[in-house]
Structure 1
């Protein structure tokens, strides 16, 4: 397999064409003309991404502030541990998106990755925001330590961490592809048992502000996952020498292992939560893995999990192939922007 190290893309090289000759390791002037790019439909993806703009402190957390203390102990523990999980994934994702853009020789990829990085930063801020609304500063800080101290969480994140760091240390096309595999897993599967927990609470009229925030994050991640899957396929197509049975086996192996770790984590954090069906959750995790594999141009590996076993989740988040919902019009979600006239002043 290819072991030659990539160089970071030059900022401007006017003697090269505006339309890139390759996603990584190609030639481009660095000038972005959206009407003259190698993959024209990516402009629509860019527009969808920037159309999702939102800020954490626009979400009204007043009811959640009152409700958190009424949750069961298992619900409170799951709430904090899942926030801890999400924060350990989104903060590195900001950096990884920026690193991918540094090596991309297609300026459209650089721009799309810049938007993704910004959104991941907003996601990470949102976890600080929701925690500051419901627990003390000491509890907030303890929650953000979980990614460093909780052994189950450390085990779950170990291979993702190894691959992300391998890309930093050895920036080859192969490591970029492998990093995109883990990014697809992160955007399309790793988050989803956590998302499901918050939607489960909202389904029972609990912590609706938090679930609204999660809906926004989830909507962003759907778009991120879609673009990463496309970038993976395009990069593999441009580097056919890497499109081998050995590499495909690597992808399937790491998908299966990641599903096992996600199921272990879900059982650890959700098993005691009243009303959570863990068999249904296992099926949902496998369904999400199948979906990401299909998007990446690969075959499903869980033949019994082609359909979503948790269809009720559709009420809370957009589907890839569904009708886009205007979140400002979702009255049943009780969405409200905070201002000087609402939010914390309601207390």
Structure 2
């Protein structure tokens, strides 16, 4: 049975003497041979199909209308747009490297395979933000947007909170404690840190601005929801195998989520306080709502006194409800690549 100070073993590429079906999620015995007909948990295959169903690329979306509209933005509006795109790009630059690092310790080949699909999608997300910026901004301003991680103290401190935990998974002797805490930090990044930015883009859309950009964001949003589910399910499975680890996860997550929420609210007030139709009291409640949702997914009781989604208008921007105006060859493919249902829908947002 795993202990918090147990050193994790990096999984060899191939160990033929071990069984194909892994004995545990981490530090288990496994050959490294992936046989989807003999997976340890059938949920892995369901998530695999969902990940495949979510495949898309930003090239498919023509931003011509947004380019014209952006030219009428004020200098301040353009600055906010650049900073928010730069911020989310920074997050998705870090996330695939973290997921890949976690994958080195995953004994279950099916979960490991899903992690690598997550990495691919995060790379597509990162490119999507660059695609948006390159469509509307000069090269100089694009570069400025990607410099925000170093030039904006509020962003640097916000990101540092996450990355300091992430770095522990890359050291020489990684413990179970390091792994669990990195997974919890990943849940906050996937499930909280993007959502004030998503709200910003959706708010533009409800004011009939940058509609095609919001379509890209809705794809990313849906992917991140699935990523959060997959990561929380992996954590829950580890806890089911090692119930004595739950107390540490609960203590760490409760404290860490509070810190993340505080930083996210600070960022939201810094960047969104002057945005038309965004109520900052609602925004604060929304961030806390997101924290409660993520905590509930890892079986921890809510820590904030908020009920239902305080910004329900966001649901208007589900993929299947968007008017996508298919105007060229690249937009002939249906945007409804996977129908939203009770299991994967935006009611979880």
Same fold (TM over 0.5): yes
Retained in 1: the 8 A contact 2:22–2:30? yes
The answer to whether residue 210 in structure 2 is matched with residue 207 in structure 1 is yes
More off after superposition, 56-65 vs 5-14: 5-14
Look up the match of 1:320.
Answer: none
Q: Give the count of matched residue pairs.
A: 329
1:19 is aligned to: 21
Distance in 2 separating the partners of 1:2 and 1:225: 23
Q: Is the 8 A contact 1:98 1:114 kept in 2?
A: yes
Q: Is the 8 A contact 1:59 1:335 kept in 2?
A: no
Instruction: Tell me how far apart the structure 2 counterparts of residues 145 and 307 of structure 1 sit (CA, whole Å).
Output: 36
C-alpha displacement at 1:12, in angstroms? 1.2
- Answer whether contact 1:64 1:207 (CA < 8 A) is retained: yes
Q: Give 1:225 deviation, angstroms.
A: 0.4
1:195-234 equivalences under 5 Å are: 195-234=198-237
Tell me the secondary structure at the aligned position of residue 70 of structure 1.
coil
1:19 and 1:28 in contact (8 A); partners too: yes
Aligned CA distance change for structure 1 residues 340 and 283 (closer, same or farther; 3 Å): closer
Partner of 1:2: 4
Corresponding position of 2:346: none
Larger displacement relative to structure 2 (305-314 or 232-241): 232-241
1:148 and 2:141 correspond: no
Residue 340 of structure 1: how far off its partner (Å): 11
Distance in 1, Cα, partners of 2:131 & 2:163:
25
Query: CA RMSD for the aligned pairs?
Result: 1.7
SS in 1 for 2:12: coil
TM-score (norm 2): 0.90
Quick check: 144-153 or 73-82, which moved more?
A: 73-82
Identify the residue that residue 334 of structure 1 maps to in structure 2: 325
Q: CA–CA distance in 1 between the matches of 2:327 and 2:229?
A: 28
Equivalent in the alignment of 1:299: 301
Q: Which residue of 2 aligns with 1:172?
A: 175
Q: Shift of residue 331 of structure 1?
A: 5.2
CA distance in 2 between counterparts of 1:236 and 1:160 reads 22
Q: Are residues 335 and 167 of structure 1, via their aligned partners in 2, closer, same or farther at CA, if it must alter by over 3 Å?
A: farther
- Gaps (5+ residues) in structure 2? 333-349
Pairing 1:36-75 to 2, within 5 Å after superposition: 36-75=38-77
How big is each residue's C-alpha offset from its partner over 1:119-170, in whole Å with a ceiling of 9 and x where there is no partner?
0000001111000000000000110011122100011111101001111114
Which of 151, 164, 173 is the aligned partner of 1:162?
164
* Among 230, 238, 242, the residue aligned to 1:239: 242
For structure 1, the 5+ residue unaligned runs are 318-326, 342-347
2:190 and 2:329 map into 1 onto residues whose CA distance is: 28
For the residues of structure 2 that align with 1:273 and 1:233, how far apart are their CA atoms?
38
Pick one of 275, 278, 282 that aligns with 2:277.
Answer: 275
Q: Are the structure 2 counterparts of residues 239 and 81 from structure 1 closer, same or farther at C-alpha, using a change threshold of 3 Å?
A: same
Does the 8 Å CA contact 1:60/1:338 hold for their aligned counterparts?
Answer: no
